[in-house]
Amino acid sequence: MDAVVSDRALREIYLPAFEAVVREADPWSVMASYNKINGTYASQNPWLLTELLKHEWGFKGVVVSDWGATHSTAPAVNAGLDLEMPGPPANFGEKLKAAVAAGEVKPGQIDENARRIVRLIVRSGAIERGSPRSAAATPPHNYGVAKTAAEEAIVLLKNSGLLPLDPRIRSLAVIGPNADVVRIQGGGSSAVVPFETRTPLQALREALPGTRIAYEKGVDNEETPPGADVRLFSPGPDRAETGLAGTYYATADASGSPTKTERVTSFLKRISGNIAGPQVTGYSALRWQGMFWPRISGSYEFSVRGTGNARVTLDGKTVLDKATKVVPDNRDVLGFPIPRRTITLELEAGRGYPIRIDYATGQTPYEYLSFGVREPRPSLDAAVAAAKGADAAIVIVGSSSTTEGEGYDRATLALPGEQDRLVEAVTAANPRTVVVINAGAAVTMPWHDRVPAIVDMWLPGEGGATALADILLGKTNPSGRLPVTFPARSEDDLTDLRSAKSAYSEGLLVGYRGFAARGVKPLFPFGHGLSYTSFTWSGFTAPARVTAGKPIKLRLTVRNTGARSGREVVQAYVAPASPGTGDPPLALRGFTTLSLAPGARRTVTITLDPRAFSAWDEAAKAWRVRPGRYRLMVGASAADIRAVRDIEVEAAVGNPQP
């Protein structure tokens, strides 16, 4: 697609985060995306890769293409693309040698590209080590970092006194399609296999050993059979381990000695390459086998989606192969239409079924295999009954395994499936209901006014389930804030990026700026987040007058007036007294976080640099401080402003600019 966006919107909205990372963190690599920006592919955009990134921002690392996102040879290299991925090269390699020989690429440009790659090799320590790093298990420190990150990100959206739950609670109903699954990241090539995971249900049972916990799924949120749950399988009949026994072969008919064996705990294989043959995948055929253990009796859906040929054998019978009818699938993988075959079988709980999946790769440019299982339809009535019989209920809803991933987007902000109906039914059955949102972005909540407590755990990484349990039970005080606006309705978000040429016509009025400009009240505003303690703010000071081009300091005293230690986030917004055409009515220009014990107070300082009073001058291609009157605001969100001061920004002699 082609992102058609003004220079001012690029500079003021979309580029600042990248600029901050490059200038402050000195990253080692940056990836050029698939799409065009104003008509030019990112991977061959000299303004983006060289003028802005390397020269203006001083980036010293390597620019790498997204996989298959290189569209040319000389234009890409000359624009500043250092490395084409994946290999073997489609546009570099011999084509690049020819371009140099023809004078289309100067040797000095090659030196520059190569110098950056050598610098990356040296930085990474690969020369000293001689081989890549590997890890057999996650160190406790790493898991602690993951858990802390999740704790700081989880947002308490609403709380009418129900949270935190008493750790001595006698009975608890844990309900929902995301309660007993690991939903910690989006799908696609960014997905990784974590070292250690728990589902929210497992984490709550560990945290509440003396509590009677009833679990019911209630409804299904999966559009297609999800990736098979590893807990339903064992390599052997003793169930000492989960997963299946995997064997890989160099031959397509699985003859000869295996090239590799492993215990399979993830039933997804994906290889992207210009040649996805045995030299890339490492095998031409694979076999996964062991035992399948149904948890409940009923109809099970088995699904295989792959670029090659698969055969599934259950209890000694072939139940799925290439003769099985292909069913429609709304989810392409990076634009590749990959067939899915699905069968339904009646199975009996408590019995082990021998299972084997044989698969021959398709040797296609993109190699993909996924094996899925959908358990029998859950009971909404059983979920309601569990909620009625418990002291409190926790309903965990959100994304399915295919809601958020690479190569497609959501068509609506509504929760998939009948999850809204589940929340309403459980809340009606038990007024002490907490709803937990497990999704990577905003969702609509038509039931929000009838639920006493709402928590957003996002897609939280491997420490997320334990972090959620600690927050629900008060071991950790929530402190996260929303980095986006949650609309009350899908139609309140006016952004439309469905066409191949997508005009960013809202300009600067994106997100909370647009909601404020249109006077539309969101469900939860940008910057919103609650705590189990309380804070008071006082003594807000700011200069009444400042010379253009100079930073200013805002000061404020914060006191923890509650009974728990907690973290507060002070946000500073700036608004022009007389906004020009397209100017946002307010914009976040700074923030600070502080931790306070009960009764403690601290004076914090937020420094606003000249950019806070600047706009990008498209004609001059430069930042320009705009003298005039501004309103300085500090608040707990874009809609919760606690104190206001006006300031006059005066023109400086010589008009120095940021």
Catalytic residues: 66
Cβ contact 646:576 at 8 Å: no
Let me know how long the chain is.
658
| Backbone φ and ψ of 651, nearest 5° | -65, 140
Position of tokens 């420094």?
607
Cβ contact 488:521 at 8 Å: yes
Pairing assessment for the beta strands 36-37 and 285-292 based on DSSP bridges? unpaired
Task: Compute how many other C-beta atoms are within 10 angstroms of the C-beta atom of residue 496.
Answer: 10
* Alpha-carbon gap, residue 464 to 396, rounded angstroms: 13
User: Of 587, 658, 589, which Cα lies nearest the Cα of 625?
Assistant: 658
* Alpha-carbon gap, residue 430 to 225, rounded angstroms: 31
Tokens of 104: 């289309």
Sorted by sequence, the CB contacts under 8 Å of residue 209 that are 6+ apart come out as: none
* Alpha-carbon gap, residue 78 to 80, rounded angstroms: 5
User: Of 312, 320, 319, 300, which Cα lies nearest the Cα of 374?
Assistant: 300
* Residue 614 β-bridge partners: 625
Pairing assessment for the beta strands 622-625 and 614-617 based on DSSP bridges? antiparallel
* Alpha-carbon gap, residue 140 to 147, rounded angstroms: 11
* Alpha-carbon gap, residue 630 to 30, rounded angstroms: 36
